[in-house]
Amino acid sequence: MTQAIIFDMDGVIIDSEPLWKKAIIQIMNNYGYDFDIEMCNRTKGMRVDEVTLFWKEELKAPFDSDIVAKEIVAEVIRLISEEGEEMEGLEDLLKRAKSNNLRIALASSSSLNIIETVLTKLNIKSYFEVVQSAEKEEYGKPHPAVFITAANNLGISPTNCLVIEDSLNGVIAGKAAKMKVVAIPENGEPQLNKFLIADQVINSLKELTF
């Protein structure tokens, strides 16, 4: 029985995946690396510090991955503040969840300062009983820790939680946490078969029923 909904943030609550990609491409270009969307998709759903460490090792790059991560975060915050828009159907879903007495949490790979920027930008902070960032966990997604911590903070068994995710790493994390997972793949993603491990795949929050 579903007692709580745990939302991912980027690509689920706010249409920020394009902004993340824009920021990563810009910052990596600043360091002399020709980045593109396909490269960004390889690390989608990971914490930004894990993304920059991945590319430091992949490219055998001399840059400080922690510094690059901070630069990307700063650019993402700027872009969200200027361009961020909520995902279609979000406000209605939050209201429906409340009216059905479902507990609501957020569990994101993004840092707390980005999460705060989003919640303030969209004016939805009051809906979330628990807000959990994977930056406080030893491992980010696809490790299930951030979802398990969110469930624990809600005081609800993971098996009674429904996760909404847009990335494969997030879906894997939700399933590993023994939660029901609904996937909303980003528009235009060609490899939709990878989301078959989710309990349900939908096109928008408007389609979610509970």
Q: Which residues are catalytic?
A: 8, 10
- For 101-148, give the DSSP string: T-EEEEEESS-HHHHHHHHHHHT-GGG-SEEEEGGGSSS-TTSSHHHH
Contact 187, 202 (CB under 8 A): no
- Whether the CB-CB separation of 106 and 97 falls below 8 Å is answered with no
Q: Which residue has the tokens 């840059």?
A: 63
| Cβ neighbours, 10 Å, residue 77 | 21
Question: Phi, psi (5° rounding) for residue 174?
Answer: -65, -45
Number of C-beta neighbours around residue 199 at 10 A: 14
Residue of 19, 5, 35, 48 whose CA lies nearest to 184: 5
